[in-house]
């Protein structure tokens, strides 16, 4: 049986070492996401032979696993996951499996599994240049939103998050933003994950940016490098009653933090209609399909 245990901040170096050299652009392969969303997914991990094994627990107490990451071959690591599920009297399920991962799984264990596309967890990946410049007719509305923001708020500034005081202001804004947001399924965990990232900002080696208008914080965002060519945006918060605030914090953060990366992963929409519409409105270069793998 694999010796799974809960993730702590002290495990970051070990987990990051397994992600080193990873070329898969899925946001799940990020320590910040794994650790910050543990209250929802009850994430556990184990590292064996420089390979990361991940196990989560669903709302109905089911276990599910992610693709092992590291040096061990799938012909060895997949049977280990299957055996763990068996010994815990659970049905074997893998989630977050991209189509490329699915191909590798089929090669390792042909005619064993079936694959079901999970649209709600597909991830949106954009060209950084496109998010920075917002060029072309398709993104004219985005440029209009930014121009409107600047007209309405001539005394605005963007700045990177670098101090404990600035992080504290973001936490205060998060609490205010949470109080203004209507109840949506899963938002309580979103709040917890956001606060966790802010409270452990330096330890997680995150990057952030914020916008103030007349000295008041109106938007902030958090992200970081995901792979050699991809930056990931974990969190983006802005007051919805300020026209263009979301659009501008997105553009400014990309310009200041992601310009050296070819791609930007803005994660999934979780099946929320408004979030899906917003992510599609930026015309992703890639919709990274993910699915669920079970036995045939």
CATH number of the domain located at residue range(s) 5-122 in this protein: 3.40.630.30
Instruction: Decide if pLDDT at 163 tops 70.
Output: yes
Residue 187: its pLDDT value, please?
74
| Confidence at residue 21, expressed as pLDDT on a 0 to 100 scale | 87
Are 282 and 139 a contacting pair, CB within 8 Å? yes
Q: In this predicted model, what pLDDT tens digit does every residue of 61-113 receive, in sequence order?
A: 899 999 999 999 999 999 999 999 999 999 999 999 999 999 999 999 999 99
Cα distance from N-terminal residue to C-terminal residue, the chain: 23
Mean pLDDT of the chain: 96
Summarize pLDDT for 60-70 with one digit per residue, the tens.
Answer: 889 999 999 99
DSSP per-residue string spanning the chain: ----EE--GGGHHHHHHHHTT-----TTS-HHHHHHTHHHH--EEEEETTEEEEEEE-TTS-EEE---EESS-HHHHHHHHHHHHHHTT---EEEEEEHHHHHHHHHHSTTSEEEEE-GGG-EEEEEHHHHHH--SGGGHHHHHHHHHHHHH-SSEEEEE--SHHHHHHHHHHHHHHHHHSPP-TTHHHHHHHHHHHHHTTTTTT-EEEEEEETTEEEEEEEEEE-SSSEEEEEEEEE-TTSTTHHHHHHHHHIIIIITTSSEEEEEE-TT-HHHHHHHHTT--SEEE-EEEEEE-
d(CA 265, CA 123): 7
pLDDT tens, position by position, 252-291: 999 999 999 999 999 999 999 999 999 999 999 999 999 9
Same fold, 5-122 and 125-286: yes
Dihedral of CA 214/215/219/222: which sign?
A: positive
- pLDDT digit string (tens) for 120-159? 999 999 999 999 999 999 999 999 999 999 999 999 999 9
The Cα-based distances of 211 to 26, 174, 237 in angstroms read 28, 14, 11
**pLDDT band at 173; cut points 50, 70, 90:** very high
- pLDDT for 201: 98
φ/ψ bin of 136: left (φ > 0), alpha (ψ from -120 to 50), beta (otherwise): left
The burial class, CB within 10 Å (0-12 / 13-18 / 19+), for 6 is: exposed
Fold designation for 125-286: Aminopeptidase (3.40.630)
| 184 pLDDT higher than 90 | no
pLDDT tens per residue across span 1-49 = 799 999 999 999 999 999 998 889 999 999 999 999 999 999 999 999 9
Per-domain boundaries in the chain: 5-122, 125-286
Residue % of the chain over a pLDDT of 70: 98
Look up the pTM and report it: 0.95
């Amino acid at each position: 049986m694999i010796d799974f245990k809960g993730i702590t901040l002290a495990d970051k170096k070990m987990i990051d070492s397994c992600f080193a050299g990873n070329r898969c652009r899925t946001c799940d392969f990020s320590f910040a996401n794994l650790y910050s969303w543990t209250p929802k997914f009850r994430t556990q991990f184990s590292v064996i032979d420089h390979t990361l094994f991940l196990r989560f627990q669903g709302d109905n107490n089911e276990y599910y696993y992610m693709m092992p990451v590291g040096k061990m071959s799938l012909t060895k690591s997949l049977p280990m996951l299957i055996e763990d599920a068996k010994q815990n009297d659970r049905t074997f399920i893998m989630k977050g499996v991209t189509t490329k991962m699915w191909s590798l799984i089929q090669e390792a264990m042909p005619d064993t599994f079936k694959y079901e596309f999970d649209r709600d967890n597909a991830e949106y990946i954009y060209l950084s240049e496109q998010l920075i410049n917002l060029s072309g007719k398709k993104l004219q509305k985005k440029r209009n939103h930014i121009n409107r923001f600047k007209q309405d708020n001539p005394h605005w500034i963007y700045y990177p998050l670098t101090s404990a005081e600035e992080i504290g202001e973001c936490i205060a804004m998060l609490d205010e933003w949470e109080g203004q947001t209507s109840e949506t399924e899963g938002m309580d965990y979103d709040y917890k994950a956001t606060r966790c990232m802010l409270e452990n900002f330096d330890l997680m080696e995150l990057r952030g940016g914020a916008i103030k208008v007349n000295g008041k914080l109106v938007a902030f965002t958090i992200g970081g490098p995901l792979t050699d060519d991809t930056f990931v945006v974990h969190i983006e918060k802005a007051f919805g009653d300020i026209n263009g605030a979301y659009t501008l914090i997105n553009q400014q953060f990309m310009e200041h933090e992601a310009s050296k990366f070819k791609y930007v992963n803005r994660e999934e929409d979780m099946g929320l209609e408004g979030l899906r519409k917003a992510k599609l409105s930026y015309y992703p270069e890639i919709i990274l399909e993910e699915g669920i793998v079970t036995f045939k």
